[in-house]
Structure 1
Amino acid sequence: MSVRRPRTYFSQLPGFRWLVTVILLLAFALMVSSALQKSATVDEQSHLFRGVAYLREGATHFLLGHPLAASALSALPVLTEPDLILPVGTPVWEAGNWSLAGDMFMWRLGNQPQRLLFLGRLPVIWLSLLLMALVFRWGQALAGKWAALLAMGLLAFDPNLLAHGRIISGDVAMTLFFMLTIYGYWRWATGDGGWRALGLAGLGLGLASVSKFNAGLLLPTLGLMGLFLAWRRRSWRPLTILLVIGAVGGVVIWAVNGFAIRPLPGGAFWDDLLWVISYFGQPHGAYLAGAVSTEGWWYYFPIVFLLKTPLPTLLLLAVAMLLLLNAVWQARQRTGMHNVTARPQRAAMNITNLLYLLAPAAVYAGFSLTSSLNIGYRHLLPTLPFLWLFTAVSLQQVVQRWGKPARWLVATVLVWLAVQAVFIWPNYIPFFNLLAGGSDQSWRWLSDSNIDWGQDLLALARWQQQTGEQVKLSYFGTAHPSAYGIDFEPMPMWAPAPEAAPPGRQLYDPQNPAAGIYALSVTSLHGVVLGEQRDAFAWFREQEPIARLGGSIFVYQVPVTENSVDLVLLGIEPADFNEDIRKGLASNDLRVRWLQDNHGFLWPASGGYLVLGEGNQIAEELRPYVQSEPIIVADQQLHSLPEPRASAAANIHIFANYLALQETLFITTNVTETDEIQLITRWEVKAETERPLQLFVHAIAADGQIIGQWDGLSVDVASWRAGDHFVQLHQFGWEPELTPDHFLVGVYDGETLERLGEPVQLSLP
């Protein structure tokens, strides 16, 4: 006689196992493929560098304000690189400067940044998949396979998880281990797992704690659940058992930090904790719907949640909350006010399970209302697994009651979310639902990691390759735009951004934007990270961009208002021009040359204007070359400059096709009677160059020894143009008992110190 085997849930629905697999594979494909499309975000290079430094060199002195574990996990695949270079032994390494050391490691030491970035993102993607699997496992245990599938699908196709589930940070790691802790305690409380479940909870607590410091919210969460269980069971055991979980978690923290015992067991963990406490004590700028605050808003995260959570998910959550309220009301109707916690026989979840799902989300969300660090939805990620499980388990009673139509509804929601995730690929960070007003308006609501975290330099590089346009770039991030092949002129940027304009060399004028193509990060448009220049790009906020790249970089075109004007500036930037200067120039196409100091003076090839900032004057010895009285005399001065006259010198010496020495003029007329000299040299620019050229004048004694010298250049090489002329004042001295025999004038590369051509010999005056 044959024995009939019991039917499993997989045999009841043969395609169900494959459906789960397809969801996981699709989420994996979306995260991996989109990770390849995105440039390094703000914090990634620092996290990755710190993890590599810890695993390879044991370095724990780079205090990033985050524990070590998440960074170390991302660093594991990177350690397989055979020629990895770290800035060991450099001043930034010794000083523990993670910002500069991470910048060197990622961009300036010859490592392959795009490869390192992708390798570092892979562990985060794997952790995201484990999080989805854990949600499915818990959901199945609570309410069966359909609830588990719905909860996993809500999480797997949430654009916010897809966005940060492929980025090097501690957010996903902390979310996974936070949930693992509560899951382990739930298993112990329900009698499923015993001491192994406690070990799981302790492991989760320890790993969450070494992933991100907001894991500290596990302590009040576990405490509340322990108190509730102790009250229900009339026993202290649910509370005392928390000591076991804490002990296991403490050992994990200690182990991850190399079993360090100084200054306390855990070593760098406590150093980082003190650092982050100090960091939170400082004001941080936050942006919400056009307003900027350093104190934040209690309603910031509720608004973020409403605007960036998919609408179908929000609707299902609202239905789940209504079902919960209805269940509580029915329980009160049946049992009276004195026994609200009674459990209806047919309820999809009892009050204890409700505690495990809603208490962590409630504690975490409640704390977020008090936080002034209002910078992103990613800080809400730990609440999502609990909320979507609560939603799915609550709806299970509807599925049971309605049968096949309800299952079709669940399938429709999952397909909707999956199609949406595919449709918006790879731009998950700037996702907003329709409540935000569509893509044309949603960017006005939020800033920072909600929309623009520096992820779209690759999109800008592709756009530039297609159009061939140079751009004026203001970028929010720490990646090097030049590493992506972007040809740009730097505009005002977030202070830590690399490749910004040198101090005192910013060409941008907020009141009169220059003609050209502007590529502006949304965070720069908002201005919250620009300090006193918050309204630097206010003019662009009301303009329509010609392109939106990845949702975080907007491209604008500013037309020319008048013919171009050549300018020479000393001690002033265009943004500082007064209204009289702006009216006098009457153009937004300014071609600027910079003077480093007042010992030099330049004429543009076609003539132009000289603008002197407050308190600045050309050196007395060079004033005859200005040849004009100021047009505007005030704190700022505007001079008209004629075209440079041709040199009458018979012998013009050319240095490496860059500069031509045209004339020399000794102001000091008898160097044998003094121990110093003043000399003016006049030059013509033959070609533009990126080399840091410098001039030198050497006083040479009869025996060939250098007895005095001058090195420098008052004209900014990067800004001059072919055909420009300039004069340079040289003044230096020598020991009184020495006498020069002649002088040498030449040009050299200030970086390599290579002389460019043979110097010119000048006889004594």
Structure 2
Amino acid sequence: MSSTVSAPPSGGVMTERRWKAATWLVIALQVAFSIHFAATASVTHDEYWHLPIGAMHWRTARFDWEPLNPPLVRMWAGLPVAFLDGTPVPEKPIPPGEYGDRFVAANRERFQSLYFYGRLMMVALSAVTTLLIARWAGLLFGAAAGTVAAITWGLSPTTIAHGSLVTTDMGAALAFIAVLWPLERFAASPTWGRALGWGSLLGLAQAMKYTCILLYPLSLACWWFAPRQDSPPQAPRTVATRLLAGIALSLLVLNTAYLFEGSFRPLSSYALRSQSLKTIQNVFQPLSGLPVPLPAAWLTGLDEQRLVMEQQHPVYLDGVWNVTGFPDYYLKAILYKTPLGTLALFLIALIAIVLRRLELRRAVFLVGPAAALITLASSEGMQLGVRYVLPSLALMTLAAAALVSVPVRWLKIAGLGCAFASLAGLWSHPYELASFNLIAGGPDGGRYHLVDSNLDWGQDLKTLADYIRREKIDDIGLAYFGTADPAFFGIKFHEPPSRPQPGVYAISVNFVMGRPHVILDGKGGSRAVNIHEFSYFQFFEPVARLGHSIDVYRLSESDVAEWERAASQR
């Protein structure tokens, strides 16, 4: 029998109150850091269209404007903006970037404020996520564990960054916690109320991010590992009935979130394009005339999402580019992006599980879904950032917080020490998006391991504009990895040459490291950038590194001549 502790003593009422007060202080700090980050960072790559589309959902009650993402999180962010936005409604869906272009054009003098309002809504959502994680950890392992979970999750640079941006990533983390916690309660006491509560949240999760579809199989798998109460178990038929009722309710809630737009169309009416969903359509060909209990925009959006995931994408890891992804991408992303104190907490908690100092069944319940998501994400070719596995980090943090509940003094002290050591990640403020730990060489060394939304997502355009004004630069060659036009920030620019030439240049780190993408040319147009087109800038030493995501170079005739000599000798 294992020596487990599921509900450790709090150490007295006053001690418990102090830990709870500390948890609230941590959440207040998270909100403060997040708001400052939200006010500092420029509109990032995907935010450019996420917020306008969220406002458009409110204004039109339509959900097919851009189906690659479900509407709920974007609507939450767009709620205050919808009442202020005067962007003309397009007659039909348009490419995502055009939503941002039209939004900024219609709100030229206040678009930055509108994006900030949307970000404040995300900060609130992120704070709620931390509160739920801390509350769940506190109920499972004691008030001290709640504080440890709040520190290691809420004050993580990754949480502060992605919890302050208008994207669906933090919504997925919230959804996983908000579904699995009621599932644990339902498994402990499978009443009708808990079954329907779990089912309602499961349905809402499907309207937040397509990743949450995993919660259906994960819920069924986790059911078997959820700790049970000592009361007599319910009959299997009764439990199965209530599980099915919860699943049925989840579908009703999902359809309601889409206002039943296109619900119950027959499967044969869909012209699916992804290989995944076409395979499912073929398997169910004999039943293709039956209605599908899903909103049309949700199903077609899932199809488009799968189509994108099935295509090749440039992926970068440890200095190597490929288009098929890396099996260890997300494990290394967690290794490089997570504060060292948190990594140590994960490691010691794992040792405690192996030594049976932590309850194995509960650990599997929490860590199993995290491992499943990381495994599935690692099998995909589209690997663009640690943000895709935020739910895994949330669950791992919750499980590791149990370390402070064990009746072994050195493990408790180690858990608390690791939590406070993780606060070193705050040194990256306000550049949390580009934060890397010392294993990766810090924020300036991170580029040799990861790029894209791990490092450079267009967040430092305002910083560049301030630098240009401060240095009195009249014209600059700019290769910017983002979707907002630098001209919106008063930046006069031209595109850099594909071979070194004398001049002043600002190059996004993604492009310095060889990322293919698209750049604006400074004349109202854009063009594709080939892989390694601007990698020649690695030869030169930048005169400034802005927010760790944009390098500034001043190339002289002698610099160019030195590069040409070196190139001729290769």
TM-score (ref. length: structure 1): 0.63
Distance in 2 (CA, whole Å) between partners of 1:197 and 1:542 is 61
Q: SS state of the match for residue 36, structure 1?
A: helix
| Residue number in structure 2 paired with 1:252 | 253
Match of 1:484 among 481, 484, 489: 489
**Contact 1:461-1:484 at 8 Å conserved across structures:** yes
| Correspondence for 1:401 | 408
Residue 462 (1) aligns with residue 466 (2): yes
Structure 2 residue 291 is matched with structure 1 residue 287: no
Separation of aligned partners in 2, 1:519 and 1:222: 48
Q: What 5-or-longer segments of structure 1 have no aligned partner?
A: 1-6, 328-346, 492-507, 564-578, 584-765
Instruction: Give the secondary structure class of the aligned counterpart of 1:478.
Output: coil
Q: Which amino acid aligns with 1:314?
A: L
Q: Using CA pairs below 8 Å that are at least 6 residues apart, which structure has the higher relative contact order?
A: 2
Give how far 1:451 is off. 0.3
Query: 1:100 maps to which residue?
Result: 98
Q: Is the 2:511–2:535 contact (alpha carbons within 8 Å) kept by the matching residues of 1?
A: no
Question: Contact 2:43–2:459 at 8 Å: present in 1 too?
Answer: yes
Alignment equivalent of 1:68, drawn from 59, 66, 71: 71
Equivalent-residue separation in structure 1 for 2:510 and 2:67 (angstroms):
23
1:10 offset after TM fit, Å? 4.3
Aligned to 1:555, what secondary structure does the other structure show? strand
Identity %: 27
Q: Distance in 2 between matches of 1:539 and 1:560?
A: 15
Structure 2 residue runs of 5 or longer lacking an equivalent are: 1-9, 266-291, 518-527
Classify the secondary structure of the residue corresponding to 2:448. coil
Per-residue deviation, 1:487 = 2.5
Task: Provide the residue aligned with 2:152 in structure 1.
Answer: 154
Aligned amino acid, residue 403 of structure 2: S
Alignment of 1:680-695 (within 5 A): none
TM-superposition CA deviations, 1:527-580 (whole Å, max 9, x none): 2224662122222113221111111111111013599xxxxxxxxxxxxxxx9x
* More moved, 11-20 vs 317-326: 11-20
Q: What letter matches 2:366 in structure 1? A: L
Mean Cα displacement is larger for which, 553-562 or 248-257? 553-562
Kindly provide the CA deviation profile for residues 710-731 of structure 1, in whole angstroms up to 9, marking residues without a partner as x: xxxxxxxxxxxxxxxxxxxxxx
Structure 1 residues 145 and 57, CA gap change in structure 2 (3 angstroms): same
The partner residue of 2:220 within 203, 220, 223 is: 223
Give me the whole-angstrom Cα distance separating, in 2, the residues matched to 1:174 and 1:355.
20
Which residue does 1:599 correspond to in 2? none
Contact 1:230/1:239 (8 A) holds in 2:
no
Aligned to 2:273: none
SS at match of 1:369: helix
The answer for the alignment partner of 1:509 in structure 2 is: 498
User: 1:248, CA displacement in angstroms?
Assistant: 2.1
Deviations, residues 607-645 of structure 1 (Å, cap 9, x unaligned):
xxxxxxxxxxxxxxxxxxxxxxxxxxxxxxxxxxxxxxx
Which AA in structure 2 matches 1:477? Answer: G
* CA offset digits 1:260-290 (Å, max 9, x no partner): 2444542311221122122223221111122
Match of 1:429 among 426, 433, 439: 433
**Shift, 1:450, TM fit:** 0.7
**Structure 1 position 294, deviation (Å):** 1.3
Is the contact made by 1:63 and 1:275 (CA closer than 8 Å) also made in structure 2?
A: no
Q: C-alpha offsets along residues 726-754 of structure 1, whole Å, 9 cap, x if unaligned?
A: xxxxxxxxxxxxxxxxxxxxxxxxxxxxx
After the TM superposition, which residues 508-657 of structure 1 pair with which residues of structure 2 at under 5 Å, given as runs?
508-510=497-499, 513-530=500-517, 533-561=530-558
Say if 1:240 and 1:362 are closer, same or farther in 2 by CA, change over 3 A: farther
Partner in structure 2 of residue 438 of structure 1: 442
Q: Is the 8 A contact 1:546 1:556 kept in 2?
A: yes
After superposition, the Cα gap between the structure-2 partners of 1:230 and 1:241, relative to the gap in structure 1 and judged at 3 Å, is farther
Amino acid at match of 2:429: W
Cross-structure match for 2:208: 211
CA RMSD of aligned residues (A): 2.6
- Could you tell me which of 78, 82, 94 is aligned with 1:79? 82
TM-score, normalised on structure 2?
0.84
* Residues 1:382 and 1:14: Cα distance change in structure 2 (over 3 Å): closer
Give the drift of 1:42: 0.7
How many residues are treated as equivalent by the alignment? 510
Q: Deviations over 1:86-129 (max 9, x none)?
A: 2325xxx4243332133211245546210111011112111111
Structure 1 residue 24: deviation in Å?
0.7
What is the CA distance between 1:200 and its match in structure 2? Answer: 3.1
Rounded to whole Å, the distance in 2 between the matches of 1:224 and 1:95 is 39
Range with bigger deviation, 378-387 or 236-245: 236-245
1:321 CA displacement: 0.7
Q: 2: CA distance between counterparts of 1:539 and 1:21? A: 49
Q: Which residue of 2 aligns with 1:362?
A: 371
CA pair 546-200 structure 1, distance change in 2 beyond 3 A: farther
CA separation in 2, counterparts of 1:532 and 1:13? 56
For 1:298 and 1:199, locate their aligned partners in 2 and report how far apart those are by CA, in whole Å: 38
- CA distance 1:562–1:282, shift in 2 (3 Å): closer
1:231/1:76 CA distance change after superposition, 3 Å: closer
CA distance in structure 2 between the partners assigned to 1:411 and 1:354 by the alignment: 19
CA distance in 2, matches of 1:108, 1:78: 13
Q: Aligned runs of 1:133-144 on 2, under 5 Å? A: 133-144=131-142
- Aligned partner of 2:298 among 259, 269, 278: 269
CA 1:87–1:547 in 2, change beyond 3 Å: closer, same or farther? same
Which residue of structure 1 aligns with residue 182 of structure 2? 184
Distance 2:109 2:256 in 1: 30
Mapped partners of 2:438, 2:253: distance in 1: 43
Q: Which has the higher strand share?
A: 1
| Structure 2 residue identity aligned to 1:143 | F
The separation in 2 between residues aligned to 1:487 and 1:348, in whole angstroms, is 59
Q: Which residue of 2 aligns with 1:472?
A: 477
Q: Which amino acid aligns with 2:253?
A: V
Letter in 2 for 1:452: D
- Write the distance in 2 (CA, Å) between the matches of 1:49 and 1:10: 48
Give the conservation status (yes or no) of the 8 Å contact 2:151–2:420: no
Please state how far the C-alpha of 1:426 moved relative to its aligned partner: 0.7
Match of 1:608 in 2: none
Match of 1:449 among 443, 453, 464: 453
Structure 2 match to 1:130: 128
Deviation at 1:28, TM superposition (A): 0.2
1:227 positional shift: 4.7
Q: 1:10 to 1:23 in 2, by over 3 A?
A: farther
Write the deviation string for residues 296-349 of structure 1: whole angstroms up to 9, x where unpaired: 11111111111111111111111111111111xxxxxxxxxxxxxxxxxxx543
- Secondary structure in structure 1 of the residue aligned to 2:40: coil
* Structure 1 pair 229–300 and aligned structure 2 pair: CA distance change class (3 A): closer
2:254 partner amino acid = I
Residue 395 (structure 1) shift: 4.0
Match of 2:281 in 1: none
Task: Quote the offset at 1:174 in angstroms.
Answer: 1.4
Residues 56 and 82, structure 2, Cα contact 8 Å, conserved in 1? no
Q: Is the 8 A contact 2:435 2:442 kept in 1?
A: no
Whole-angstrom distance in 2 between the partners of 1:178 and 1:13: 27
Q: Which residue of 1 aligns with 2:521?
A: none
- Asked whether the equivalents of residues 261 and 295 of structure 2 are also in contact (C-alpha less than 8 Å), the reply is yes
User: Deviation at 1:526?
Assistant: 2.1
Change in 2 beyond 3 A, CA 1:524/1:238: farther
Larger Rg: 1
Q: Which amino acid aligns with 1:257?
A: Y
Q: Does the residue aligned with 2:326 lie in a helix, a strand or coil?
A: coil
